[in-house]
């Protein structure tokens, strides 16, 4: 689990240098990996990894939000959205 850092209109920023705490995180070549938010015992997919800042996995992750109009328009072509 990567701790929250910031949120923009399209990007969810997560802190990646969490290996020292045992929380893991994403790393280089993890593009497309899901990010879930636990809401009352239910895991909700909220973003996918789009870019990691370095291969040492010690920087911040850029994760594309799935609740944006452009993401929903794209995904809606392939799956039924809630």
Specify the pTM. 0.72
- Residue ranges covered by each domain of the chain: 4-76
Question: Which range has the worst mean pLDDT, 9-13, 22-26, 31-35, 49-53?
Answer: 22-26
Task: Write down the mean pLDDT value for the chain.
Answer: 78
Per residue in 3-24, pLDDT tens? Answer: 777 788 988 877 665 555 555 5
Contacts 24+ apart (CB under 8 A), 26-32: 26/2, 26/52, 26/57, 26/61, 27/52, 27/55, 27/57, 28/52, 28/54, 28/55, 28/57
């Amino acid at each position: 689990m990567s701790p929250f850092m910031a949120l923009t209109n399209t990007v969810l920023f997560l802190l990646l240098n969490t290996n020292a705490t045992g929380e893991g995180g994403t790393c280089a070549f993890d593009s497309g990996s899901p990010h879930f938010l636990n809401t009352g015992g239910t895991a909700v997919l909220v973003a996918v990894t789009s870019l990691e800042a370095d291969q040492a996995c010690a920087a911040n992750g850029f994760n594309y939000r799935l609740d944006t109009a452009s993401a929903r328009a794209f995904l809606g072509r392939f799956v039924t959205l809630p």
